Amino acid sequence: MLKGALIGCGFFAINHLHSWRDVDGAEIIAICDSNSERLKVVGDQFDIAKRYHNANEMLIAEKLDFVDIATTAPSHRALVELAASKGIAVICQKPVAPTLHDAKAMVAACANAKVPFMVHENFRWQSAIQKAKAILNEGEIGEIFWGRVSFRSAYDVFSGQPYLAEGQRFIVEDLGIHALDVARFLFGDALNMNARMRRVNPNIKGEDVATMMLDHSNGATSIVDCSYASKREVEAFPETLLEIDGTQGSLRLDQSYKLTFTNAKGTKHVDASPPLLKWASKPWHNIQESVLNIQQHWIESLRGGTEPQTSGRDNLKTFALVEAAYQSAATGQTVQMMDLLSS
Ligand code: NAD
Ligand code: 89V
């Protein structure tokens, strides 16, 4: 069993801890939160006796194979660099940092310390997205020339995550980041970014609507669009929908996990509904199963000595797309990804 510790016992960490119980080959032996109340509530809920207010003290006192950081972005760099300085493998929640500069420094710190580093970028691990990817890999729709990754909702995310209403940046940094990673996963790396954004909800500081267009290195064009201002007949939260056209056919992932693909052989309909894990609750269950899947992937990567799919190094390319989207929306210009990644 690999032994891990969790830092940050807030809203989303509950999903990490339920998942760690289900992951093969790992256990969480200690938790840390600077907030005493959260430490007690979560320690009692998951029966974890070793509790710390200070991450440094925990990393000195405990013998750990990895640390799982589930705090919000402003604390990520210091905590990742702390783990790297102690030679401990580290997972960090998205967004990996407030700035691309910080993200690059974190990747460099882990590389210099030869410490495995994965960003908890879980949306690609949703089973519906994995099924779509498998169909593309099997060549069922030929070569992809166009795609759309779409997340449109009017769900109240602010009651569970009040900090989302307070930042100057909102939907692209928090949610679009997942959709951009899914676009990279399905269509490959992006060469450039064009984005338009706006705020519809007057009670928040950041943008809640964004439309992004990307050119991918294989020639495909994609649209990545997200909104928390879209009232629908049936609320879609938190489903990511797909439209993909290829030279031999097309694939759609429509609301309620309806996956359809069409080619010369005809049309196939697949129910891509996620499993409802015993501790999960709708409508969050697709996100919750993806947490279990990415944490299992991390343990397999650590055991096998392989780089996880969303390693810090890989995630720089997703995070740079976020930065590019804000730059493009502010200037109205196309942003070249090479310029951001090489600077
Ligand atoms: P939260 O504010 O509810 O919880 C964060 C916790 O970290 C708090 O209890 C806080 O006291 C603690 N903390 C902060 N700094 C600390 C430090 N230096 N040492 C110890 N404890 C510290 O936040 P949340 O909603 O749980 O979000 C946490 C992260 O998870 C964010 O980065 C968010 O974007 C991400 N998130 C990811 C998903 C996903 O699907 N991947 C979903 C929701 C949230
Ligand atoms: O995944 C996330 O980061 C969440 C949510 C899906 C609610 O936007 O903040």
pLDDT in tens, 75-132: 999 999 999 999 999 999 999 999 999 999 999 999 999 999 999 999 999 999 999 9
**Mean pLDDT, the chain, integer:** 98
Calculate Rg over the CA atoms of the chain. Answer: 20
- Cα–Cα distance, 101 to 83 (Å, whole number): 19
pLDDT in tens, 285-312: 999 999 999 999 999 999 999 999 999 9
Residue 343 pLDDT > 90:
no
- Please work out whether the CB of residue 80 comes within 6 Å of at least one atom of ligand 1: no
Compute the distance from residue 77 Cα to the ligand 1 centre, in Å. Answer: 13
| Parallel, antiparallel or unpaired: strands 209-216 and 249-254 | unpaired
pLDDT in tens, 311-322: 999 999 999 999
pLDDT in tens, 6-56: 999 999 999 999 999 999 999 999 999 999 999 999 999 999 999 999 999
- Ligand 2 is surrounded, with C-beta below 6 A, by 157, 161, 174-175, 178, 238
User: For the residues of 68-103, what is the DSSP string, one character each?
Assistant: EE-S-GGGHHHHHHHHHHTT-EEEEESS--SSHHHH
Beta partners for residue 215, in sequence order: 192, 221
- Cα–Cα distance, 9 to 36 (Å, whole number): 10
pLDDT in tens, 161-220: 999 999 999 999 999 999 999 999 999 999 999 999 999 999 999 999 999 999 999 999
Compute the distance from residue 37 Cα to the ligand 1 centre, in Å. Answer: 15
Ligand 1 atom showing the smallest separation from residue 79 Cα:
18
